[in-house]
Structure 1
């Protein structure tokens, strides 16, 4: 079972099958919207999982990159008059450059020191987005221009469902190819032991920065897609609680599992919608369910279930 999940095409094919099944099985626009938010959040969770689950580096401020991608997509068309799609690409470049500049100094830290440093980065980005009201609209947010492709304006839940689903499948495939490449093996080595990786000749500092940059680009892409999907964005997308949500998605689904990132995102996005019937007890029920998952599936949902299935097959 574990070998199947490690194949570069197995997980993308499974995700594609789920996207197709939900796309044709969910008749309501509300459910399609929730599913679209799951695909976008899962893309960001995959990026963070590459950093935490494979490179072993903690980040509590990744929503900062999410905000950078979202606001680059919103601000650049207003300031430079470029298309939103080109603005999205510029947002990815900006996220990569910022990750390079920020990652070099803070990735020298370890453990809770690194966590606090990344937390500070996320808070800084959120403050800039809130205070620079002339560019970002401040706390009230700003509208995002709809992208136009081949003369057709891309809008509507139906269109963005399939776009986000396709991007998620492609992102999962690229992530798995990275994990199975020499770079991925180097990341797993430094996750297990930085000292052993350094002794084996791996440039630890370089690979940490590479993981940080790739993770930032994934998250910024998700942020830009959310901005284009909603047509409106606020600084909350870069807030601390959003960073915590990404971490929960990774840990809940399973660190070191690309498919686990999708499962974690699905639970954290869809479960509150299902629990809304409990009204004032919604958050209590959500917290209890998450606790149960982590108590009985300590390695995360997907890795734990794969281990159980493999154990039962013997």
Structure 2
């Protein structure tokens, strides 16, 4: 696949997701490993969160370190509403998304008056507060012991209880999230977001409503995180506050930066890189370094983040596109190749 094909896929709002979806749906034809499906399912969960976070960070230029809170709000909303009150999981997912949207709106109004590091610290503080609430309201959330017995999702009588079935489910959500997000990016709202990311002063000078645009994209990213958290709760059937600590928000941001914060496809690439590297660390680090504690993961990904920012500040996907462009420039086109052959055949210039 040459750079022209990649550019066509990138610019087309429907072609790229369709190709991705087709490739993923071919995987069951070549493998039936539950482990493989569980890995791809986790990539899907993280990719759904990162798609929303990419629009916020990469296109609006706003750094959030509190998305684990919305991830957890979706998970606990679905868990409590389905297990305690007997609601349908689909209704619970929608309610959880609405709760996250309202919370994002309430938090975003004062928070987005801040800029830079102050904004990041404010969202980090919000995430810590929500994590504490999950832990302390044990009568509702189960506290540190966790919440058990979350029912599976069903659709027209079919229950999503296997890794393979959930693999299909989560990637359908990712597919539509990509379509929806790319439509926003290529719309008037997307142009406004890019102007904010470039210069808030210039954007404000040409009439862009900074607060309105920031709040809209923050609410959208919160909804994506909430839906992903709800789907996760029904997938694992057990959740506890440790799934939604501040480190989780940091890992989400690392995924976005590794893949490419200005590229929707970077969300999927970053999520895949994180899940695969995390699996390698869990399996091989205890064998090679048996005395290393659980904090090795955050140290490793912290170092990886620093290296990415130094050597690949745009992430993996833009770097791959640049390499493909350079490769095409070095490869002579058919016209150039024929001209070269013609010159060689005539012995160069006819003097």
Report the TM-score range of the alignment, normalised by the length of the smaller protein. Answer: over 0.9
- Compared CA separation, residues 289 and 27, structure 1 to 2 (3 A): farther
Mapped partners of 1:111, 1:291: distance in 2: 18
Which residue matches 1:149?
155
The answer to whether the Cα contact below 8 Å between 1:69 and 1:88 also exists between their aligned partners in 2 is: yes
The answer to whether the Cα contact below 8 Å between 2:254 and 2:305 also exists between their aligned partners in 1 is: no
- 1:127-142 aligned within 5 A: 127-142=132-147
Which residue matches 1:96?
101
The answer to whether the Cα contact below 8 Å between 1:12 and 1:173 also exists between their aligned partners in 2 is: yes
Residue 164 (1) aligns with residue 166 (2): no
Which residue matches 2:227?
221
Residue 190 (1) aligns with residue 196 (2): yes
Matched positions, count:
314
Mapped partners of 2:232, 2:54: distance in 1: 19
Greater Rg by CA: 2
The answer to whether the Cα contact below 8 Å between 1:298 and 1:304 also exists between their aligned partners in 2 is: no
Q: Could you list the runs of 5+ residues in structure 2 that have no partner in the other structure?
A: 290-295, 330-351
CA deviation string 1:201-247 (max 9, x = no partner): 11111000001000100111111111111111111222101001100
Mapped partners of 2:114, 2:95: distance in 1: 29
Q: Could you list the runs of 5+ residues in structure 1 that have no partner in the other structure?
A: none
The answer to whether the Cα contact below 8 Å between 2:257 and 2:305 also exists between their aligned partners in 1 is: no
Which residue matches 2:325?
310
- 1:1-314 aligned within 5 A: 1=3, 3-4=7-8, 5-143=10-148, 144-275=150-281, 276-279=283-286, 280-281=288-289, 283=297, 293-314=308-329
Q: TM-score, normalised by structure 1?
A: 0.94
Mapped partners of 2:269, 2:285: distance in 1: 23
The answer to whether the Cα contact below 8 Å between 1:11 and 1:259 also exists between their aligned partners in 2 is: no
286-295 or 26-35, larger mean C-alpha shift: 286-295
Mapped partners of 2:267, 2:83: distance in 1: 34
- Compared CA separation, residues 199 and 253, structure 1 to 2 (3 A): same
Shift of 1:285: 6.7
Shift of 1:146: 1.8
Mapped partners of 1:183, 1:290: distance in 2: 30
Local SS of the residue matching 1:232: coil
Shift of 1:287: 6.2
- Compared CA separation, residues 215 and 129, structure 1 to 2 (3 A): same
Mapped partners of 2:163, 2:203: distance in 1: 46
Over the aligned positions, Cα root-mean-square deviation in angstroms equals: 1.9
Mapped partners of 1:291, 1:102: distance in 2: 29
Which residue matches 2:347?
none
Shift of 1:122: 0.5
Shift of 1:83: 1.1
CA deviation string 1:241-272 (max 9, x = no partner): 10011000000000111111100000101122
The answer to whether the Cα contact below 8 Å between 1:11 and 1:172 also exists between their aligned partners in 2 is: no
The answer to whether the Cα contact below 8 Å between 1:66 and 1:237 also exists between their aligned partners in 2 is: no
Local SS of the residue matching 2:195: helix
Q: TM-score, normalised by structure 2?
A: 0.84
